[in-house]
Structure 1
Amino acid sequence: MNTSSTGDFLKDFNEAFFKGKRDFIEQHVSDDVEWIMVGAMPLKGRQALVDAAFGMEDYTQMEFEIDTIITEGREGVVKGVMTSKGGNERERRYCYCDFYEWQGEGEPKITKMTSFVVETK
């Protein structure tokens, strides 16, 4: 992947989560990546992150919209809304905000993710 900016990279990375692009995620996180989902136990390592992200089948079935992407140096944030499609339950909407840290140029690798997710009414 050759993105023109770190903002494009974060957009592609975020989209990969929601579209089930496991290979993309594996390729763009460090071996010792840390994923902190606020309110849950932190995950450490590429395999733990991939297992958690793609072990939740309904997560990749959500619709999403990115509202804001901000980057500065080797840090960035993506804010958006994700919506479950419903199924047998009512549709559910969540606001999310993911903070990223990475290393490398051109082909960055995420070293730390901190995710805040709040269900809206």
Structure 2
Amino acid sequence: MEANSASEFLREFNDAFFKGKKDFIEQHVSDDVVWIMVGAMPLKGRQALIDAAFGMQDYTQMDYVVDMVIAQGQEGAVKGVMTSKGGNERERRYCYCDFYEWQESGELQITKMTSFVVETK
């Protein structure tokens, strides 16, 4: 996959988390995907990733901005800012960077994700 196409895919994949596009995520992660959220235990397998992304941690309740997408070969990264919409609590802002590894066998599939998230003031 060309760098531009990979960058576009990563932007779309990132967007799917925040817009609740569960089917897109399921379709584009391998059965044995590993999601490492730095500071927490790694999640292994498609279902564990889906449960975390669309279960307790509801990213669809956040606004987000993607600052940068980089892709080369079978690796890439997305950097951005996500903001909780507040509600009864104060608005919270987080800087994040997700690193991706993938394989291509027809359709691109994420095999590993490493996420760094830091709350800012």
Q: Same fold (TM over 0.5)?
A: yes
State the match for 1:71 in structure 2. 71
1:97 and 2:97 are equivalent in the alignment: yes
State the match for 2:61 in structure 1. 61
Gaps of 5+ in 1: none
Letter in 2 for 1:114: T
Supply the RMSD in Å over aligned alpha carbons: 1.2
Instruction: Name the SS for the 1:5 alignment partner.
Output: helix
Q: TM-score, normalised by structure 1?
A: 0.94
Q: Distance in 2 between matches of 1:18 and 1:89?
A: 20
The alignment-based identity, stated in percent, is: 79
State the match for 1:81 in structure 2. 81
Q: Distance in 1 between matches of 2:100 and 2:5?
A: 15
State the match for 2:5 in structure 1. 5
Richer in strand (by share): 2
Q: Distance in 2 between matches of 1:15 and 1:42?
A: 22
> What is the CA-CA distance between 1:61 and the residue it aligns to?
0.9
Gaps of 5+ in 2: none
The structure 1 segments of at least 4 consecutive aligned residues displaced by more than 4 Å after TM superposition are none
How many residues end up aligned between the 2 structures? 118
> What is the CA-CA distance between 1:60 and the residue it aligns to?
1.5
Letter in 1 for 2:32: D
